[in-house]
Structure 1
Amino acid sequence: MTDLLFRTDAYLREAAATVVAADEAGIVLDRTPFYPRAGGQPGDTGRIRWDGGEVVITDTIKDPERGAIHVVAAGAHLPPPGTGIVSILDWERRLRHMRMHTTLHLLCSAMPGIYATGNQIGAEKSRLDFDLPEPPAKEWFTERLNELIAGDHEVGERWITEAELDANPGLVRTLSVQPPRGTGRVRLVRIGPEEAPVDLQPCGGTHVRRTSEIGRVEVTKMESKGRQNRRIHIVLAGDTP
């Protein structure tokens, strides 16, 4: 299985690796900083470069047996197995995903006791759906989110066993995306101090180190998607810090 380097360093922009397989599905490496599409977060894009060649990566997806597959355009020249390469992220796109993803966690914290029913992270805009019959105005969400961002809260993580998660089901804040399982342990992403977190929930995605890195955000629209389901749209309103 591919060693997913972003799990220990989400700020790693490139890494040396060896090609394990290369076929019409894409390129499999022994290690990668690329995030494979999951949990509403898009797969990373970028480039893979080797001595005498380079290929553009248009997406990264999961494979249950091989790990991360780096998708290339049809007909692209592929490096053969055993080739030493350097994988290079489209860093600006990834960073925007990280800022957006952390923002969605903050949005969850602004609605304690309310479950998310769907989400989609994007570089330009993102959305989060809530089981919420009468939500506050979008201006309230914008103000609350920017207060939390300005608090410059540290973003950290810790791991618990799957049994510990089963014993604390309230940690799961979404009805649509369940935490990654199968390894015996689950990663918790924490915003704020351990003793009094702003938000704490299972998550396999990538995040910024501090909320101040997000910059200003704005809730641009709220939609009704059913009797109680409300969709909240968010954009990054400020320049990258």
Structure 2
Amino acid sequence: MTKKLYYTDMYGKEFDASVASVGDDYIMLDKTLFYPSSGGQPNDTGILKSKNGEISIVDVKQENGEIMHITEDLKGISQGDSVHGIIDWNRRYIHMRYHTAVHIIDGVVSNDYKNGFLTGGQIYNDHARVDFSFDIIDRELITEIISKANEIVNSGLKVFEREITSKEALEIPGIARTEPGRQLIEKLPVVRIIEIENFDFQADGGTHVHNTKEVGKIEMLKIENKGKGHKRLSFRLD
């Protein structure tokens, strides 16, 4: 199984690895910093350098714990080769900022609004969206939530990852905020947690900034109706 370096080195930009296997259009490595599309966060892109030259990684996918680095040109790379990977840091960092922003919005709703919750989210390169479910929700309430989220951003809280056992995780209320998330935790021996100090913690497999101030200002783009009590907020970061 590929060792996921991005779990503990979220600011890593380059790494050395060995080629575990090669497919028709993909390479598997013994370890990687390349993040695969997962949990609403898009994949990394970048390059791999080998003795035979340089190839572009245009997509990254995960299957059964293995990370597939998709490329349009293998350039003679073979199993056992040593490679040097470099991720597109600008792309990764904006995804990290947006992912932490989603957690901050989620934390505000979880902490301050017991009649509502987030049902999902998606990160893009220039914006993100979150879906709200409340008994009653309108623009005024969403504006209030974003205002509180920006207060957390400006507080400069530390953001960090840690691991706990599945048993410990299941004893913590709210650590998984959807039933599928809870079911996943039940299957894992170790659960990775993203914690925002004294504010929020939840099971998560993505990458995040180290301090909430790195997120920048959260600015609303548009609000869409998704049925009674359901709204979709699109936002960007300044």
Q: TM-score, normalised by structure 1?
A: 0.89
**Alignment check: 8 A CA contact 1:116 1:176 kept:** no
Query: Relative to structure 1, is the Cα distance of residues 172 and 36 closer, same or farther in structure 2, using a 3 angstrom cutoff?
Result: same
2:156 and 2:235 map into 1 onto residues whose CA distance is 19
Query: Please, which moves more after superposition, 181-190 or 48-57?
Result: 181-190
The answer (yes or no) to whether the contact 1:189–1:202 under 8 Å persists in 2 is yes
Aligned to 1:189: 194
Please give the alpha-carbon distance, in whole angstroms, between the structure 2 residues aligned to 1:153 and 1:167.
Answer: 25
Could you tell me how far apart the structure 2 residues matched to 1:107 and 1:162 are?
A: 25
Q: 2:84 aligns to what?
A: 86
Structure 1: where are the runs of 5+ without partners?
A: none
**1:176 shift after superposition:** 6.6
Shift of the alpha carbon at 1:206? 0.4
| 1:212 maps onto 2:216 in alignment | no
* In structure 2, C-alpha distance between the alignment counterparts of 1:48 and 1:86, rounded to whole Å: 6
Check if 1:131 corresponds to 2:124.
no
TM-score, reference length from structure 2: 0.90
Give the percent of matched residue pairs that are identical in Structure 1 and Structure 2. 34
What do the CA deviations read for 1:68-88 (whole angstroms, capped 9, x no partner)?
110112x54351111110011
User: 1:148 maps to what in 2?
Assistant: 152
Match of 1:157 in 2: 161
Task: Report the Cα distance in structure 2 between the residues aligned to 1:45 and 1:38, rounded to whole angstroms.
Answer: 14
- The range that moved more, 162-171 or 226-235, is 162-171
Say whether residues 1:41 and 2:44 are aligned partners: no
SS at match of 1:10: coil
Mapped to 1, the partners of 2:184 and 2:95 lie a distance apart of 19
CA distance in 2, matches of 1:35, 1:78: 24
Name the CA distance, whole Å, in 2 between partners of 1:28 and 1:93: 21
Comparing both structures, which one devotes a greater share of its residues to helix? 2
**How far apart are 1:162 and its partner, in Å?**
1.4
Q: Structure 1: how far apart are the matches of 2:68 and 2:151?
A: 39
Aligned length: 231
The amino acid across from 1:186 in the alignment is V
Note the C-alpha offset of 1:59.
1.1
Give the letter for the 2:170 counterpart: D
